[in-house]
Amino acid sequence: MPIVQIELLEGRTLEQKRSLVEKVTQAIIESTGAAPEAVSIIIRDMPKENYAKAGKLASDK
């Protein structure tokens, strides 16, 4: 039972998320032999002010 957690900065559309979960699910099926029904995906949208890289908040870029 594969469980995948994906963290993204907020701003993706619902259609982009649909495409992402379809493609990730397919990759897991192909690489592990898991049934589609066994694959769970959790998407966490992170506000840009909650992520920083190189000392700069993503919201400040």
Clarify whether 36 is annotated catalytic. Answer: no
Residue tagged active-site, from 2, 4, 20, 29: 2
Which residues pair with residue 7 across a beta bridge? 44
- Spatial contact of 24 and 41, defined as CB atoms under 8 Å apart: yes
Nearby residues of 1 by Cβ (< 8 Å), 6 or more positions away: 34, 38, 39, 40
Give catalytic residues, as residue numbers. 2
